Amino acid sequence: MPKQQLHKRFTSDQVKIVLQWYEEKALGFAEARNRLELSEDRFFKILKRYRENPDTFTIAYPKRAAHNRFNQGSDDVIRTELEKEKSLIQNPAIPVRQYNYAAVRDEVNRTISQSITSQTIRNRAHEWGFVTTKPPPKKHDRVVQTTAVGMIFQHDASDHLWSPYADKKWQLITTLDDYSRKLLYADFFEHQTAWAHIEAVESVILKYGAGFAYYVDSHSIFRFVCWRDSIWYTQVKGTDDVMTQWKRVVESCGMKVWHASSPQAKGKIERPYRWLQDRIVRRCAKEGIKTIEDGRKILEEEVSRYNSHQVHSTTKEIPDIRFENAIRENNSVLKPFTIPAPFTSTKDIFCFREKRVVDGYRKVSWRKYLVSVPADVPVGAHVELHIVPDAKGRKYEYGFKTRLLRLQKFSRAPKINNKLFFWLLTLFF
């Protein structure tokens, strides 16, 4: 049977008497230690405390600080948030089927000044009956891990009703660094267009630099896929025989494009989508978000949380820290973006490109509109149009060496996403 602690076997006065006798040589060391039933090391530690101040010496334990227990008001806040979670789960229009105790913890900590742990939320939820059965996790039979930042940029889009109060779905376009799992780009769009994906590429490459390859699925924006011939028609062009606008931009930046062979092969970016979907849908539902502008504010906060505060389940590191450590250790294939010759502006890279032939009237057509070319361009010359849509109607004025620059304002501009645009056309031959 283990020996009881000293303060439970003797009083402070009893110990003081034994130590006083030892100091006065009335007791030897062995006898004093045996009377107190202490080890040699423990005896001398207590003797040292007695010698420092015999008058105030005590063996009683100091009172411990009160536990940081939260009051009934904190319990009420937790229950309120769990009730909100329950209402989301029971609403068939909202794609939330499980309780997220970590999300509840974050909401509770925003409301009260204390720091509540996820385990506390989980304990309260089980005590009050806010529990759902989770499906068993799927095991990954193969994990492909890159060895440097910038080797692979995982790029994808998610069409989803991010807020139950929105009147339509929004497109979330993201780019993820495969090594660090950092979200390099994330933004909502009303429509998934080639130009939206080109803007995403421009944002990533101008901010972080050009990597080695983009990893995407076989969506028509990223790849031309030839389907099997039928008795009704015969395919003239095969798969990848047609260069898409987005792929042309990526390759102009010196990067390759790789295509996933199946949805399962895109798992590394699908998991952040599920994480963002779980967090953003909850917050949009609780805060009554209706517009895409308000949704972007929540998206920005959750992306910041994911990159800067969330420990990734696979790498066991925070994405921002893993990314910065790799850059500092020169474990990166990112290289600064340089405009390839003969171009002089990024607008000649991040744009739509269309090839045309100058007709007998020294004009080229584009989307049923005629654009005049200068007199020094011969009839029959092959020209390439660089087209940059501008949602805010800004007019760009920049030159391309000695070539023609013409800002053509159409009397009836083409409509994209139900908005009018100005188009900048740079012609060269």
DSSP calls for 293-337: HHHHHHHHHHHHHHHHTPPPTTT-S-HHHHHHHHHHTT-B--B--
pLDDT at 398: 30
117 and 164 housed in the same domain: no
Q: Which two tokens stand for residue 244?
A: 């898409």
418 and 372 housed in the same domain: yes
Number of structural domains in the chain: 4
List the Cα angle 364/193/250 in 5-degree steps: 80
Within-domain flag for 334? no
Within-domain flag for 67? no
309 and 414 housed in the same domain: no
Within-domain flag for 137? no
Average pLDDT over residues 4-19: 84
Q: How far is CA 376 from CA 221, 357, 385, in A?
A: 36, 14, 17
Sign of CA dihedral 300, 305, 308, 311: negative
Contacts for 177 with CB less than 8 Å, ≥ 6 apart: 149, 150, 152, 153, 154, 184, 211, 319, 323
**Percent of the chain at pLDDT exceeding 90:** 28
Please name the amino acid found at residue 190.
Answer: E
pLDDT at 371: 76
Q: Is the predicted pLDDT of residue 233 greater than 70, yes or no? A: no
Distance, in Å, from the CA atom of 211 to the CA atom of 396, rounded to the nearest integer, reads 29
210 and 274 housed in the same domain: yes
Q: How far is CA 387 from CA 129, 245, 370, 400, in A?
A: 59, 11, 14, 14
Distance, in Å, from the CA atom of 314 to the CA atom of 82, rounded to the nearest integer, reads 28
Q: How confident is the model at residue 421 (pLDDT cuts 50, 70, 90)?
A: very low
Average pLDDT over residues 257-286: 80
Sign of CA dihedral 356, 358, 362, 367: negative
Q: Which of 302, 328, 354 is the last residue of a domain?
A: 328
316 and 193 housed in the same domain: yes
191 and 303 housed in the same domain: yes
Within-domain flag for 254? yes
Q: Which of 61, 93, 128 is the last residue of a domain?
A: 128
Higher pLDDT among residues 11 and 186, named by residue: 186
Unique residue bearing structure tokens 């994906």: 197
| 278-292 pLDDT tens trace | 889 889 988 999 999
Q: Give Cα 384 to chain centroid, integer Å.
A: 38
Unique residue bearing structure tokens 């070539």: 403
List the Cα angle 388/418/393 in 5-degree steps: 40
355 and 410 housed in the same domain: yes
pLDDT at 114: 73
Please name the amino acid found at residue 159.
Answer: D
| 314-341 pLDDT tens trace | 888 999 999 999 999 999 999 999 998 8
Bond prior to 135 in cis (omega within 30° of 0): no
Domain holding 45, by residue range, is: 6-52
When the pLDDT of each residue in the chain is averaged and rounded to a whole number, the result is 81
Give, for 366, the enclosing helix (H) or strand (E). strand 363-366
pLDDT at 13: 87
308 and 197 housed in the same domain: yes
Within-domain flag for 411? yes
Q: Which two tokens stand for residue 118?
A: 């996820």
80 and 40 housed in the same domain: no
Distance, in Å, from the CA atom of 107 to the CA atom of 100, rounded to the nearest integer, reads 11
Q: Which two tokens stand for residue 17?
A: 């008497």
Average pLDDT over residues 200-229: 90
77 and 42 housed in the same domain: no
Within-domain flag for 140? no
Among 76-90, 254-268, 295-309, 413-427, top mean pLDDT goes to: 295-309
181 and 314 housed in the same domain: yes
Name which of 177-186, 363-372, 409-418 the model is least confident about. 409-418
Within-domain flag for 146? no
Average pLDDT over residues 188-206: 94
Q: Is the predicted pLDDT of residue 370 greater than 90, yes or no? A: no
pLDDT at 388: 83
pLDDT at 137: 63
Q: How far is CA 410 from CA 26, 126, 405, 413, 417, in A?
A: 111, 64, 16, 5, 17
Name which of 67-76, 293-302, 387-396 the model is least confident about. 387-396
253 and 160 housed in the same domain: yes
**Percent of the chain at pLDDT exceeding 70:** 81
Q: Which two tokens stand for residue 378?
A: 């011969």
Q: What is the CA radius of gyration of the chain?
A: 34
pLDDT at 74: 83
Q: Is the predicted pLDDT of residue 345 greater than 50, yes or no? A: yes
pLDDT at 301: 93
Q: Which of 268, 300, 328 is the last residue of a domain?
A: 328
Helix then strand count (H, E) for the chain reads 12, 13
Q: How confident is the model at residue 144 (pLDDT cuts 50, 70, 90)?
A: low
Q: Within 13 Å and on the Cβ side, how many CA atoms surround 148?
A: 14
**Ramachandran sector of residue 394 (left: φ over 0; alpha: ψ -120 to 50; beta: rest):** beta
Within-domain flag for 57? no
Distance, in Å, from the CA atom of 94 to the CA atom of 87, rounded to the nearest integer, reads 10
Q: How confident is the model at residue 405 (pLDDT cuts 50, 70, 90)?
A: very low
pLDDT at 418: 34
**Whole-prediction pTM:** 0.69
| 21-75 pLDDT tens trace | 898 888 888 888 888 888 888 888 889 888 988 888 888 876 655 555 566 678 8
Asked if 130 and 86 touch (Cβ cutoff 8 Å), the reply is yes
pLDDT at 324: 95
Q: What is the CATH number of the domain that holds 293?
A: 3.30.420.10
pLDDT at 194: 93
Asked if 22 and 32 touch (Cβ cutoff 8 Å), the reply is yes
Unique residue bearing structure tokens 């450590």: 325
Asked if 366 and 373 touch (Cβ cutoff 8 Å), the reply is no
